A and B are shown apart, each in its own frame.
Chain A
Amino acid sequence: MKNHHIKKQSNVRVLILGGGTAGWMAAAALSAKLAGTGVSIRLVESAEIGTVGVGEATVPHIRHFNASLGFDEADFMSRTEATFKLGIEFRDWGRKGDAYIHPFAAFGREIGGVPFHHHWTRARRAGRVPADGLDAVSLPIQAARMGRFGHPSPDPSSFFSTFSYAYQFDAGLYAGYLRAYAEARGVVRTEGKVQDVSLRADGHVEAVTLESGERLVADLFVDCSGFRGLLIEGALKTGYEDWTRYLPCDRAVAVPCANDGPPAPYTRATARDAGWMWRIPLQHRAGNGHVYCSGFMDDDAAEQALLAQLDHPPQAAPRRLRFTTGKRRRQWVGNVVAIGLSAGFLEPLESTSIHLIQLGIGRLLDLFPTSADMDPLDAAEFNRLMDLEYERVRDFIILHYVATQRDDTPFWNHCRTMAIPDSLATKMELFKQRGIVTLYRDGMFLEPSWIAVYLGQNILPTHVDPRAALVSDAEIDRLIAMEAEHCRRAASSMPAHGEILSRYKVQVTA
């Protein structure tokens, strides 16, 4: 073999427009994965415009993102004031007074070849387990309720390997953390406001011009400019699929306050008269917000309602946000790829936005242009995959609204009775009648998540797998009790959440 190694250079020039969570996640991942390929990356952001910056709760996939960039967990958590997240507690969703946790884990184990929830449904129908009895058979729910946390075991035979976890972090600090990482890997940052976008004859974006007059040319533009979608919509007029008819909330107001005691290892989402409120505990504060439907509540009332239930006085002026739920018709058009809020928005009920950013970045890397000439097939595949993902996440979020028995406000009457997509109606019918969860390849929410929400919101299947009846009631009761005892004991053996966090702090400062 010859001694000199010829490196293939692709020389694609990338311009990332926007320095919010999406922009800096993209910059960090692209700079790491495309190191040495000849691809150059520039990021433009405008301090004057600022970022949305409220995305604070995540799903477990973020750990793979961090790990693939080589982040050390203790360092990352300590610099972003992060806490561990075992799930989301949903209060008052099925009925007022209900509370369930959607954990990152399955409930129980198969018995006699039949999924656990079929047996549980039978026991529940016969009144042998209480309505909130599912909590008892979930290790992460038990841990969350006790305010404890422990890392899952990598050994698949260990009971501690049966759950996963995510983080709650300060989005602004996370963006800064990513920025330092990306700049160290050659990403060039330009502060400035884009004022003009010029197109080539073939309709692709050629360059953006800043207020300063500086003109930035690139081959590939990653539009992370937030809701405005400066390139994908502003310049390319791609169009937006409006999903407000399924998810009517269109406003939010957010405000931080101090934590009430040690931070909880889970996010809380409480249903309210015309929407819902979140509480996301970080190390140094809690993020709070109220997502609501402007058709049923005005902005002042929404803000008042939020402030009225804070654990502590607000630490900043409330921020008001407007949004339209939906998705860009195509997220990759020509040489523009939209990632983040420019690509679409689904309300933060299941903390999905950052995950959708991560997916967009991963697929952009899988389909990264090999030269300045774009192959439309790359865009077609990207759009096919992202469409599937957005639609499946959308259906899962709608489920929370439509699987309700609440009839105490006009908003809930509307949600309970609204028309839903056929894709969701079919799934719900199958579960209601037979306890079967529809499975698919692409789609972030798997069977356990659907089960958590269905059962948590009192959708108890009418019929279950007939094979469940082959195991005696006494045996099922014994196994459920045993599983609950395992979960209780395992959760009790975990350290307090606050204790792990302070151990991490010490580790980093030492």
Chain B
Amino acid sequence: MKPLHDITVAGAGFVGWLAAAALARNHAGRGGSVTLVPLPGLDDSLDPFGPATALLPGGVEGLAALLGVTPADILRAGDGGFSLGTAFQGWEGPGSVSFLPFGQTGADLKGVAFHHLVWRARAAGASIRMTDYSLSTLAAQAERFALPSPDPRSVLSTLAPGGFADLRGLTALAQRQALAAGARLATAPLSHVRRDAAGRVTALVLADDTDIPADLFIDATGARALLAAPGNGWHDWRCWLPCDQYAVEPATADGPPPPYALHSADATGWTRRIPLRTGAWVTRLGRGAGRFTSGRRDLAWDANTVLLGASACLLDPVGGVALSLLITTIRHLLSHYPVTPGSGPEAASFNSQVAVAMDRARDFLILRFKANGRTGEAFWDAARAMDLPDPLAHKMALYESRGRIPLYDGELFDRPDWINLLDGAGIRARRCDVQANGLNDGEIMAHLERLRGVLLRAAGELPPHAQALAQLLGGTP
């Protein structure tokens, strides 16, 4: 059996080098080739929102595994720290603050889900913020951090950190790993794409007129998607994700990096601040200029071409999902790697898994806009009034009806993420779980008090984030 050996990657930015490293490490060991063809211009292969990016839980480890390095290498190369979640400022109305943590929130009692306990306690007069029962939230507030414990009995097992990274550092790391695994960079940049009569890519033509053919082409050219066949259309999601304009600028660090991103809403959009160890990046998102179109490509794998990064899917950065989706996609590509020319059943399976992951990630971001509390501002009023896509509409309806979140195949986010987002936005269910009626208020309050005590104590014992990072990465905080 002979796998397809020759891979050509269009775009030598972050996505290109990451894909090249992962593919070369896995496939080129047996004589195959991976060739990258550079493009002139800024690297917007993952997204155009600036050099800093966020990683959801599991992302640091996932990236490390693809590149064959350690998680510490990722943070080191990416100038990054850990992330315990996202702080949202102004989304529930000017002046409001809420925190969307990673990891677990609270704990069930006698089979009754935590959020139902909180709703019962509120009905009994207690004033409670759900996320105050998440260790990630408490640690983030105090800028403390520890790695999660593998022991499920430890309260530290409720942590599930993500991270931040400067893509330029990660690109350099990926490039090193790719070259070490035998990938090659073409000597001249891309001039144009050669196709056959059916629109299939046959070669990349370089500026010096050399042809680079391949068995498999990877499109890592960002939103331009230079290799996408004309018929492989783009699903435009601007009706749900309203921003289409951005501006990026660097900021200076004020002290050690906090273990969270800050997303601040204003009258006409929102601003993301991602902390790095030696600075920060600020991206402002709004509506108007039409500089990007949230959406996804119809087929991520079309004939002999696989599209990765922004050429396949580009989403408003409010969910911080771009890099995690890319990691998932590359993993699927490795496990579905084609062994015969063209697109067989692997491509169909890859496409359906990738599409569903993107669609469900999209739903989470849509809800972030929909569940805003800013009234009297056209941008936000329109977002609140929008109709939801079907699976999300069902999810929202069931939550509003009885506090239940249905999960579908391919979900990136788990129940607590959805519930924290909705509850934090002041959206509550009309009904409470009947099983909660078997508990009396005293039991529920005692459970909540005990939990809070355990969490506060645990948070107080965590080291400062800067110290934990320094210990992990070596060197001074």
Residues of A within 8 A of B (CB): 1, 5-10, 12, 33-39, 68, 113, 365-371, 375, 377-378, 380-381, 384-385, 426, 429-430, 433-434, 436, 438-442, 463-467, 469-470
Contact = CB atoms under 8 A, between A and B. Distances in A.
B402 A378 contact: yes
Contacts of B340: 433, 463
B231 interface: no
Given A426-B345, A434-B336, A434-B339, A469 B441 contact: no
A438 B442 CA distance: 47
A19 B120 CA distance: 35
B262 interface: no
Interface stretch (B13-21, B294-302, B430-438): B430-438
A17 B343 CA distance: 52
B389 to A, nearest CB: 16
B349 A436 contact: yes
B190 to A, nearest CB: 27
B398 A370 contact: no
Interface stretch (B246-254, B275-283, B305-313, B407-415): B407-415
Main secondary structure of the interface of B (DSSP, over half): helix
Given A466-B27, A466-B337, A467-B334, A12 B434 contact: yes
Which 3 A-B residue pairings sit nearest by Cβ, starting from the closest?
A: A466-B3, A5-B440, A36-B438
B346 A370 contact: no
B1 interface: yes
Interface in B382-409: 394, 397-398, 401-402, 404, 406-409
B431 A375 contact: yes
B288 interface: no
B7 to A, nearest CB: 12
Nearest to A438: B349
Interface of B: 1, 3, 26-27, 29-30, 111, 120, 124, 334-337, 339-340, 344-346, 348-349, 353, 394, 397-398, 401-402, 404, 406-411, 431-442, 445
Contacts of A365: 435
B434 A10 contact: yes
Contacts of A438: 349
A34 B398 contact: no
Main secondary structure of the interface of A (DSSP, over half): loop
A436 B411 contact: no
A34 B438 contact: yes
Nearest to A431: B345
Contacts of B336: 434, 436
B323 to A, nearest CB: 20
B345 A367 contact: no
Given A375-B431, A467-B334, A433 B402 contact: no
Contacts of B334: 467
A434 B336 CA distance: 8
A59 to B, nearest CB: 21
Given A463-B1, A465-B337, A466-B3, A37 B346 contact: no
Contacts of A442: 409
Given A381-B398, A381-B404, A433 B344 contact: yes
A367 to B, nearest CB: 7
B397 A436 contact: no
11 contacts: A6-B440, A37-B437, A38-B437, A113-B26, A378-B402, A381-B394, A430-B346, A433-B344, A434-B339, A466-B30, A467-B26
Nearest to B111: A33
A370 B436 CA distance: 11
Contacts of B30: 466, 469-470
